[in-house]
Structure formats: structure tokens, C-alpha cells
Amino acid sequence: MTVRSVAAVDLGATSGRVMIGRIGDGRLDLELVSRFPNGPVEREDGLHWDFGALYEHVVAGLAEAVRREPGIESIGIDSWAVDYGLLRDGDLLAEPFHYRDARTARGVDEVHAIAGFDELYRRNGLQFLPFNTLYQYRVDSRLADADAALLIPDLIAFLLTGRAVAEHTNASTTGLLGVDSGEWDAELAERLGIPSRILPTLVDPGETIGTLRADLVARIGKDLPVIAVGSHDTASAVVAAPLSTPHSAYISCGTWGLVGIELTEPVLTDAARDANFTHELGVDRRYRFLHNVTGLWLLSETVRAWEAEDGLAIDLPELLAAASAVTGDVPIFDANDSSLSAPGDMPARIAALLGAAAPSTRPGFARSIVESIAAAFGEAVQTASDLSGRELDSIHLVGGGSLNRLLCQATADRTGLPVLAGPVEATALGNVLVQARALGAAPASLEELRALVAATHEPELFSPR
Ligand code: LFR
């Protein structure tokens, strides 16, 4: 067997990256080609993504990847979920909105006046998040002009190949996909005033979306196919979470902490709905039965505010080391409090939740944040177990949060379960694995793919204390 290589584009809410993935001869590894910042940008009509800059970074990163590794055989793209661009005759009508934009509140009220949350949950199986795409569509004044709506990875794939499709895992985060059927719920869309013509043909991870447009072949340096992967970043991350038994929970931790288990059948009970547990579609039609916990967003926004105050960069590892050294109990707050979701002065908003108990030092404050995230993780793990009736004996914590040792240990302590941390780049690895499988360069089942991850990326164990 030889080593094969692919390019993975992985766009997160705070940074994006292009990587080369290599697989074969017992190997599975990543080479970082480029990393670029991402985040909300304030425009006249609200919060957006600087999509033009992101797209340029993607194309430049792909060109550099091919320069470094001319043997690359394909491209896969994943990003955060729910956000989209509207097209008319192939042209982007407006810069995509950021899901943290405040306009969605009106969308929620309007949608729920037509179809209540209970009905929505029965149809789409999704937890309530105020930014689910259907709420955004409802208040998008450009919708009437559009002939297609593409989620971010699909939009990039369209710009690269000219083919407009909707990859299944990410499509499930719109709220317009039937949880049982896996097909567009056109009836619901039309009832909500969302023209079903904008919903593109669905494709599954592993299908080839198309090949690069001629001008991009020249710029990137090679004629390459774009292969659909689990284009929702969390779907890709869970592909590469080295779960070895159904009794393992996962936490995919970056900006968000996605806490749950993998199921083959949905659990559409009233209790699951009331606990706000979602059924996002996974690769190979598994369900991610999980709850969104506000993750490292709380820490990164806090650090951003302190840096603005000081006019100086803060060394995160140093801050976390000082936070680890804090002795005694720190107060915790509800990490999912809705006051913490918009960008802005995070320390003041957290202090308002903590009241008089708010730690007065920065290490103490950071410790409160980490412990509060871990407490919310613990609660969600317990709820996942209660709702599914499944006993859980370990937690795989993957993504950027796996580097945060304080968080990993606090999660083990608060759940009483061993936490297996890593891989840190689970999302990019999942992206690579699904491309490799489509190319015949990786095994067929998710279980075998995960075994390969486990063999090549040994997790670090945090035992509960
Ligand atoms: C994680 C993630 C979550 C989704 C949130 C918003 O990056 O994709 O799964 O709920 O971002 O899209």
C-alpha cells in the first residue's frame, strides 16, 4: 500500500485552515498548510462573515497545498453549521450573515407563530437554537430574489466547481430536513414562506460534487475533484472521535462544546425535546444525539476583552496555568445563559451572572469559566445517558479544547468518568478520512476508521479525582 494524500479545508468560527492529510501504510497524519483568522464582522445591517476573505484564503491555501504535495487527489470542505449564502443565476446576492446576529430573534417568533417548537421537533428532531437556518431564512429579505441557498461549505464547493448541492449532514442543521426521511421537508418550508426551489439536491458524504473550474485549475495548479465530506464540522469531528464502544460519550470542543452520543435510531421523546437534545445527521446516517454547550467562546471572548483593555496580547497557556493554581472553590455560572451568546464585553456579562461571588483576579475568573463549562459538560453527559438509557463509561474529548488540560481534568472530576483527550484536529481528520474512503484509500466502516484514528493518535487519559 502506498501513502495517499488529500486536501482538507476546515473552517471554524474563530479560524480556518487548509491541511494536507496523508493516509496509508498505517499512517494517518496532517500537515498544516495555512491558518487564517475568522470571526464576526460588524456591517451596517448586522453581523456577517467576511466571506470574500475566507474564500481567497481557501483558494490560496489549496494552491500552496498542491505546490507542497503535487500528489493530492481531492479536496474536502467542512465548516460551522447553519449559515448560508443566497444565489441568483450563480451570483452571491449578499455577504452571509453570522449566526450570532440579533435579527434571528424575530425569525424565531415568526416561525413559532406558524409552527410551534413541539411540531418542529417532531419533524426535524433539532434542539432549539435561535440561529437554526429556518429562523434565519424567515427574516432574510433577499430570499424572494434567490434561486438557491447554499450552506457555507456547499457555497465554497459551488464556487470551486460550479455545482450547487446540499451535503446531508450540514443540511440537517437547517431545520428543514425531515429527521426520519432525511429528505427536504418542502411542505414545512413553504408554510414558513421559504420557497422550496432554494433547497438544492442533497448529496451524501463520499459523493463527488464536481471538479475544479478551469480558471481554478490554473490557479490551484491541478485538476481536482471536490468530494463531499461530513461538511458540518461536528459531523467530521465525530467521525474521527476514536469511540470504541457505544458506551463512550464525545465532546467536540472548540467555540462550542458539542456533548452527546452516537445513535442509529432517533430518540424523539418529549423528555429529549424538553432537555433540548438534538438529532443532527452524521456520516453514514448516524444521529448525533447531543446538546450544544457554550464552549471556549466564553474564554476567547473574555481574553479578547482583557486584551482590548490592556492593549497587550495575553498568553493563554500562562493564564490557564495560573488558573490551575487557584486553590479553593470558585463560583460557577450557567455557561448556556443566553446573555453570553453575542460578541461583546464578556467579563462584565459573566460578572453580572456571578454577582458578588465573581472572582476578583483574572486567574480566578478564568478558573470560574473553565469550571462552569465543565459543569455544563457534566450535566449534558448525564442527560444523554438518562434520555438514551445507555450507561456511559468514558468520554472522548476532541478538538481544540483537548489541549486545555484544566478543562479535561475538570470534566473528568465533575463526571466521575475517564476523559480521553484528543485528537486536537479531529475535524480535519474526519474530513480526510471520508475523502480517503471515497478514493478507496481507507476502510469502509466508521468503526474501522475510528480504530485507525485510535492507532495513530493516542489520546491522553485524565482520570477522575
Ligand atoms: C461547531 C458548530 C456547532 C453548531 C455551531 C453553529 O463549530 O458547527 O455544531 O451548532 O457551530 O453553526
pLDDT in tens, 42-73: 999 999 999 999 999 999 999 999 999 999 99
Cβ of residue 233 lying under 6 Å from some atom of ligand 1 = yes
Residue 126, pLDDT score = 98
Task: Enumerate domains of the chain plus CATH numbers.
Answer: 4-233 (3.30.420.40), 243-422 (3.30.420.40)
pLDDT score of 136 more than 90: yes
- Which atom from ligand 1 is nearest to the alpha carbon of 280? 9
pLDDT score of 1 more than 90: no
* For the chain, percent of residues with pLDDT exceeding 90: 100
Q: Please state, rounded to an integer, the average pLDDT across all residues of the chain.
A: 97
Cβ of residue 301 lying under 6 Å from some atom of ligand 1 = no
Residue 245, pLDDT score = 94
pLDDT score of 83 more than 80: yes
Mean pLDDT, residues 380-395 taken together: 98
Spatial separation of the C-alpha atoms in residues 457 and 242, rounded to whole Å? 9
Mean pLDDT, residues 249-277 taken together: 98
- Which atom from ligand 1 is nearest to the alpha carbon of 129? 10
Q: Give the total residue count for the chain.
A: 465
Mean pLDDT, residues 389-404 taken together: 98
Mean pLDDT, residues 88-107 taken together: 97
pLDDT score of 364 more than 90: yes
Cβ of residue 79 lying under 6 Å from some atom of ligand 1 = no
Alpha carbon of 361 to ligand 1 centroid (Å): 31
Cβ of residue 255 lying under 6 Å from some atom of ligand 1 = yes
Cβ of residue 277 lying under 6 Å from some atom of ligand 1 = no
Catalytic residue among 78, 101, 233, 284: 233
pLDDT in tens, 333-361: 999 999 999 999 999 999 999 999 999 99
pLDDT in tens, 311-322: 999 999 999 999
pLDDT confidence of 389, banded at 50, 70, 90? very high
pLDDT score of 36 more than 90: yes
> Ligand 1: which residue has its CA nearest to atom 9?
234
Alpha carbon of 95 to ligand 1 centroid (Å): 19
pLDDT score of 189 more than 80: yes
pLDDT score of 225 more than 90: yes
Mean pLDDT, residues 226-252 taken together: 98
> Ligand 1: which residue has its CA nearest to atom 6?
81
> Ligand 1: which residue has its CA nearest to atom 1?
80
- Which atom from ligand 1 is nearest to the alpha carbon of 292? 10
Alpha carbon of 278 to ligand 1 centroid (Å): 12
Reply yes or no on whether 233 is catalytic.
yes
Cβ of residue 170 lying under 6 Å from some atom of ligand 1 = no
pLDDT confidence of 147, banded at 50, 70, 90? very high
pLDDT in tens, 406-448: 999 999 999 999 999 999 999 999 999 999 999 999 999 999 9
Residue 294, pLDDT score = 96
Pairing of strands 4-11, 15-24: antiparallel
Alpha carbon of 100 to ligand 1 centroid (Å): 11
Alpha carbon of 80 to ligand 1 centroid (Å): 5
Torsion of CA 379, 260, 155, 46, to 10 degrees: -10
Residue 50, pLDDT score = 98
